[in-house]
Amino acid sequence: MLDADFFRRWLIACAALVDRDAARLTELDSAIGDADHGSNLQRGFTAVAAALEKEPPPTPGAVLTLAGRLLISTVGGASGPLYGTLLRRTGKTLGDAAEVTPARLAEALRAGVTAVAELGGARPGDKTMLDALEPAVEALGSADAPFAAAREAAEQGALATVPMLARKGRASYLGERSIGHEDPGAASSALIVGALAEVAAG
């Protein structure tokens, strides 16, 4: 069972991984975006980690809802609303339960990913964060070792964006010049799923 402390540790681990890889994310974004993805996410997750360490919410849903709200208010560009929506919808789907199962988390994340797709008007294959999130959620809900499988699926999904033509987001303005670059949103999504697997492994 996964309690509020598990989710708090997950998001603090997210902040650490984003901080470590901020330069790489910004470098990816400089090729096909606004060159601010790493710094924007770094600012947002730093604020999330600080808030969770100061006053941890009592339930998994409340942890994610707070984090989503902070990301929306502190992260610039499209990333704030997209990641904020992912966490807020996941948190709201978990409700007030004090503990949740991995299967329940997978269901809630599915709702969060669906909300992201609706907000951005994207689908898998459009070279966006969904190309990492969709396979990760699928693996989380069906694999024998769900967290490790989700991390592997997210990493492979992010790498699979390299040969894709961007159809949504800032990169879509580049047309065929977007081909050959890893999508920064997919790369950061893989980091966030990787943090989940890291915390689950202890």
Q: Give the model confidence (pLDDT) of 54-67 as tens digits.
A: 999 999 999 999 99
Q: Would you state the pLDDT for residue 50?
A: 97
Q: Would you state the pLDDT for residue 144?
A: 86
Q: Give the model confidence (pLDDT) of 139-180 as tens digits.
A: 999 878 999 999 999 999 999 999 999 998 888 888 898 999
Distance CA 134, CA 137 (A): 5
Domains and CATH numbers, the chain: 2-201 (1.25.40.340)
Q: Give the model confidence (pLDDT) of 70-102 as tens digits.
A: 999 999 788 999 999 999 999 999 999 999 999
Q: Would you state the pLDDT for residue 178?
A: 92
Distance CA 76, CA 97 (A): 31
Summarize the confidence of residues 42-56 as an average pLDDT.
96
